[in-house]
Amino acid sequence: MTSLMKTDIGASSNASPAAPFPERRPLDRLLSQLDQIADSSDHLIKKTFGQFESNGQSYNLPRYLFLGPKGGGDVIRIGIFATIHGDEPEGALALSRFVVALEKNPELAKGYCLFLYPVCNPTGFEDNTRHSRSGKDLNREFWNNSAEPEVRLLETELWTHGFDGIITLHADDTSNGLYGYVAGSVLSENLIEPALREAEQFLPRNTGSQIDGFDAENGIISQGYRGVLRGPWKLVRPPFEITLETPQKAPLHRQVEAFSAALQTILVEYRYLMAIAQNI
Ligand SMILES: [Zn+2]
Distance 74 CA to ligand 1 centre (A): 32
User: Which pTM value belongs to this model?
Assistant: 0.91
Distance 171 CA to ligand 1 centre (A): 6
Distance 3 CA to ligand 1 centre (A): 11
Going residue by residue through the chain (280 aa), what tens digit of pLDDT does each one get?
444 444 443 344 444 455 555 578 999 999 999 999 999 999 999 999 999 999 899 999 999 999 999 988 889 999 999 999 999 999 999 999 999 999 999 999 999 999 999 999 999 999 999 999 999 999 999 999 999 999 999 999 999 999 999 999 999 999 999 999 999 888 999 999 999 999 999 999 999 999 999 999 999 999 999 999 999 987 888 999 999 999 999 999 999 999 999 999 999 999 999 988 877 6
Distance 71 CA to ligand 1 centre (A): 33
Distance 172 CA to ligand 1 centre (A): 6
Distance 225 CA to ligand 1 centre (A): 12
Residue 105, number of CB atoms within 10 A of its CB: 10
Pick left, alpha or beta for residue 133 (phi over 0 → left; psi -120 to 50 → alpha; otherwise beta): alpha
Closest CA to 248 of 171, 186, 147, 164: 171
Distance 259 CA to ligand 1 centre (A): 14
CA distance 258 to 74: 29
Distance 92 CA to ligand 1 centre (A): 12
Distance 106 CA to ligand 1 centre (A): 29
Please give the backbone phi and psi of residue 66, each rounded to the nearest 5 degrees, phi first.
Answer: -110, 115
